[in-house]
Structure 1
Amino acid sequence: MIALIRLVGVGFVVLTIIYVGLSVWSRRVRRRKLQERWDARRPTADREAFIRRGLERYDNSIRRKLILGVYVVPVLVVVTIIYLTNFY
């Protein structure tokens, strides 16, 4: 039982570090693309306002929510391996 608690605890910490890193990286990529789009088109809007609106849309997008798969996929893999090991 202690081994299971340790596995869950360490797994949660590792997955959280991966999630935070992936979220920061994805947001930086989105910001860079918005900056490049603004530089290419030179719209009449303020650059910072354009980037802020783009990042707000990104925050509500499905792409950001898919990053939560960092928690779901490894848990499903471990549960599947345990199930197949014990019952097949």
Structure 2
Amino acid sequence: MIRLSAAIAAFAVLATPALAEGYLYSDFEASVPHIDLPECPEGMADRAAICRVTINNDALHIHVFAEDGDQPFIAVHTFYEDGFALTLDR
């Protein structure tokens, strides 16, 4: 039983976020259905970034990725149905 506990503890240490790989835009682009925004909405990013939108149930999510380097994930901003308005331009 002590060996099992030690193995579980060792695995828990190895699974820490410090050892996790970052989430890159290339991973997102290939696996998540989304809409490209021509520019990030004001206040969404504090540096040069690209923004993409996903919709799930009654929420709209704006995913923010850095423009430079490997384009790492920066943040996600979630808005529920009473927090946004959609406009359809034809």
Q: TM-score, normalised by structure 2?
A: 0.31
Taking CA–CA contacts closer than 8 Å with sequence separation of 6 or more, which of the two structures ends up with the larger relative contact order?
A: 1
Larger radius of gyration: 1
Higher relative strand content: 2
User: TM-score, normalized by length of structure 1?
Assistant: 0.31
Bigger fraction of residues in helix: 1
